[in-house]
Amino acid sequence: MEENEVDLGKGDHRKPEYKAINPMGLVPAIDDDGFYLFESHAILRYLSSAYPGIADHWYPADVKKRAQIECILDWHHTNLRRGSAGLIVNRVIGPALGRPLDEKAAAECEALLKASVKKIDALWLNESGPFLTGSPEPSIADLSLACELMQVEFLGEEFKSELVNPHPKVKHWLAAVEKALAPHFEDVHQKLKARAVMFQKRKEHGDSHPSSKVAAQSDL
């Protein structure tokens, strides 16, 4: 499968050729030889099932093991994802695009994000193994949740430390996911980290002229 970058800043996601693949105009989406699919979790499930040779631990065939992965993936949408994405939109992207700050919404998202990290620590990490549900190997749920937490870099290194450090199990889990996926994990997050630093500097200098607004839109 070939990787195609969708440049949100240039409005690639609103172009007819992209909307033919994902009519929602959101990323990610795949075109698997004419089969179009969107929604990141649906894509992860499909890629784990449609191709031979994918190790079982990514998306276990055992119905009970799989059900636990499904539970985490579903929970993610309305908890960790909602908290993290909502906070980044309210605290970073929104202000960079010149939108008024909705402090109540931002505070709700921050509380949800913190509660979600606490739940991951309390419910899905244990001594049986370093990955979610105590598995010795990662699953697609580890991919989704770890990548979501990586996006918190947009809120600054200090915020991320404050969020993760009170939960040593979460810290070890993130390190285990990074190690299991080396060097790809570091590779795909390098650009994000650079953008996060840029946003932080911009925030510190109060820079919000039109050109930085366009750049902000293209980065997520």
- Written as six digits, the tokens of 151 are 């996006």
**Per rule CB under 8 A, count of chain residues that contact a copy of itself:** 33
Answer whether 217's CB lies under 8 Å from 89's CB.
Answer: no
Q: Note whether 49 binds a copy of itself by CB under 8 A.
A: yes
Find the shortest distance in angstroms from Cβ 209 to a copy of itself: 28
Find the shortest distance in angstroms from Cβ 73 to a copy of itself: 8
How many angstroms separate the most distant Cα atoms in the chain? 54
Interactions with a copy of itself, residue window 89-148 (CB under 8 A): 102, 104-105, 119, 122-123
Q: Note whether 18 binds a copy of itself by CB under 8 A.
A: no
Q: Note whether 182 binds a copy of itself by CB under 8 A.
A: no
Give helix 184-205 / helix 168-180 axis angle, nearest 10°: 120
Interactions with a copy of itself, residue window 64-93 (CB under 8 A): 64, 66-68, 70-71, 73-75, 77-78, 81-82
Q: How buried is 183 (Cβ within 10 angstroms: 0-12 exposed, 13-18 middle, 19+ buried)?
A: exposed
Q: How far is CA 134 from the centre of its chain?
A: 21
Find the shortest distance in angstroms from Cβ 182 to a copy of itself: 28
**Location of structure tokens 């989704």:** 144
Find the shortest distance in angstroms from Cβ 43 to a copy of itself: 8
Find the shortest distance in angstroms from Cβ 179 to a copy of itself: 28
State the Rg of the chain over Cα.
Answer: 18
Tell me the residue type at 156.
G
In whole angstroms, what is the distance from residue 125 CA to residue 189 CA? 23
> What is the chain's length?
220
Q: Judged by CB, which is closer to a copy of itself: 10, or 99? A: 99
DSSP 60-72: -SSHHHHHHHHHH
Find the shortest distance in angstroms from Cβ 47 to a copy of itself: 9
Q: Residue numbers of the site for a copy of itself (CB under 8 A)?
A: 23-24, 35, 37-42, 45-46, 49-50, 63-64, 66-68, 70-71, 73-75, 77-78, 81-82, 102, 104-105, 119, 122-123
